[in-house]
Amino acid sequence: MHQARYDAIADFYAAAFDSTADSVSQTLLSLLGPVTGLRILDIACGHGRIAREIARSGAGVVGIDISGNLIRKAREAERNEPLGIRYIHADVSAAEGLDDAAFDAATCNFGLSDIDELDQAITAVSKALRPGGRFVFSILHPCFPGGSEHSGSWATTGRYYDEGRWTAQGSLSSLRHQVGANHRMLSTYLNTLSAHALWLDHVAEPTPAPGWDQAHDADRKPLYLVVSSRKAAALSSGQR
């Protein structure tokens, strides 16, 4: 397994993103719904902030991340506050350590743009979910071109239609300036879901914190996208 991009910035990331009070996390958890007694897979779990919140709500949680340094932080948090979470250090695109149809739901909070192989990752998600299971994820809105100081999902010097890996240059885009991101069109995300029998269930576009959007010239543009999908009971012949 190659060196994860987040290994070098694990301390920065864990300190900067350690709350679930933001509008996107709250929307993701709301779309996930009641989880008591369910088994949940948290993809690109990082240091475990979403995984811990789900576990506190009564779910059995497995977190998976390619960054060994972030997984170590997640395991340390589990030792300090035991919630029964199992953390796997693995690349979800390779589907390592995941049993077929073992989970009632899966989540991924802002992680899909970090994953280079989207199709392989969604293949693994679909295989891990039981029929009827749900996949809820959040991303920066793929249509968002950025604000005056905050990079969006694609370079201001490029076009929405230009998919690929890029590095943010906005002065307030501290994370994406360090680790970059994969830009994909909205159609790519939705078509990849349906190709693996994950059917659109609900879509939300939560707003940023009050005042943030106007201050950074993003008040007329969508910034976040949260998607809930549900796995079909069986793949049709055209999707096998």
**DSSP code string of 28-84:** HHHHH---TT-EEEEET-TTSHHHHHHHHTT-EEEEEES-HHHHHHHHHHHHHS---
pLDDT value of position 2: 47
Handedness of CA 61, 65, 70, 72 (dihedral sign): positive
pLDDT value of residue 13: 87
Domain presence at residue 27: yes
The pLDDT tens digits for 106-159 are 999 999 999 999 999 999 999 999 999 999 999 999 998 776 677 778 887 889
Task: Measure the CA–CA gap between 148 and 137, rounded to whole angstroms.
Answer: 26
Secondary structure letter of residue 161 according to DSSP: T
Tell me the pLDDT of the chain averaged across its residues: 89
Residue 166 lies in a domain: no
Mean pLDDT within 193-214 = 87
Domain count, the chain: 1
Q: Which residue has the tokens 């005042």?
A: 211
Task: State mean pLDDT over 165-181.
Answer: 77
What CATH number is associated with residue 78?
3.40.50.150
Task: Tell me, yes or no, whether 130 lies in a domain.
Answer: yes
- State the DSSP H helix or E strand holding residue 99, giving kind and residue range, or none if neither: none
Q: Which residues pair with 182 in a beta bridge?
A: 165
- Does residue 171 lie within any of the structural domains? no
Range of the domain at 61: 5-143+184-231
User: Tokens in use for 113?
Assistant: 């743009």
Task: Tally the residues of the chain.
Answer: 240
pTM for this model (two decimals): 0.91
Residue 96 maps to a domain: yes
Instruction: Examine the pLDDT at 240 and tell me if it is beyond 50.
Output: no
Burial call 50-67: b when 16+ CB within 10 Å, e when fewer: bbbbbbebebbbbbbbbb
**Residue 164 covered by a domain:** no
pLDDT band for position 237 (cuts 50, 70, 90) = very low
Going by pLDDT thresholds of 50, 70 and 90, the confidence category of residue 178 is confident
Distance CA 41, CA 87 (A): 10
Identify whether 18 is part of a domain: yes
Can you tell me the distance from the alpha carbon of 94 to that of 157, in angstroms, rounded to the nearest whole number?
A: 33
Residue 174 lies in a domain: no
